[in-house]
């Protein structure tokens, strides 16, 4: 039964990490360009500045592929203190390119028979 609630499809990946370091230290590693550059090069970013920031909780960046079709995506880092005094980090990388809304994405192994249209 449907309750009128529709979820938009998620075109991305979510990763979760636990660190011993406090959130403030992890936040610095994510937001200071010199530190971030070691693992997220500026060439991967569509623009150097963050698109959305909630200080010491969440930051998002726009990314763009360097190769055709040059799809755009958003990577969001969410931090939260964990029970051990460290940091829980969730990385959400989602393809947000408007061109994908026109494409129908199906799994390569969907076991359906290909159908050809008659002319």
Mean pLDDT score, 21-38 = 93
Q: For the chain, which domains are there? A: 12-98 (3.30.530.20)
Span 29-33, average pLDDT: 93
Burial class (CB in 10 A: 0-12, 13-18, 19+), 21: middle
User: 72-81 as b/e, with b when 16 or more CB fall inside 10 Å?
Assistant: ebbbbbbbee
Looking at per-residue pLDDT, the higher value among 63 and 66 belongs to: 63
Q: What is the pTM of this model?
A: 0.72
Using the predicted structure, report yes or no on whether residue 11 has a pLDDT greater than 50.
yes
pLDDT band of residue 119 (cuts 50, 70, 90) is low
Q: pLDDT tens across 83-107, in order?
A: 999 999 999 998 877 666 555 555 5
């Amino acid at each position: 039964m449907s309750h009128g609630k529709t979820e938009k499809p998620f075109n991305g990946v979510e990763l979760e990490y636990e660190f011993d370091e406090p959130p403030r230290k992890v936040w610095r590693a994510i937001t200071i360009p010199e530190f971030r550059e070691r693992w997220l090069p500026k060439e991967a970013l569509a623009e150097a500045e963050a698109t959305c920031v909630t200080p010491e909780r969440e930051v998002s960046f726009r990314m763009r592929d360097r190769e055709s079709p040059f799809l755009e995506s958003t990577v969001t880092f969410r931090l939260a203190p964990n029970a051990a005094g460290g940091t829980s980090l969730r990385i959400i990388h989602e393809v947000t390119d408007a061109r994908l809304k026109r494409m129908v994405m199906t799994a390569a192994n969907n076991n359906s028979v290909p159908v050809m249209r008659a002319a």
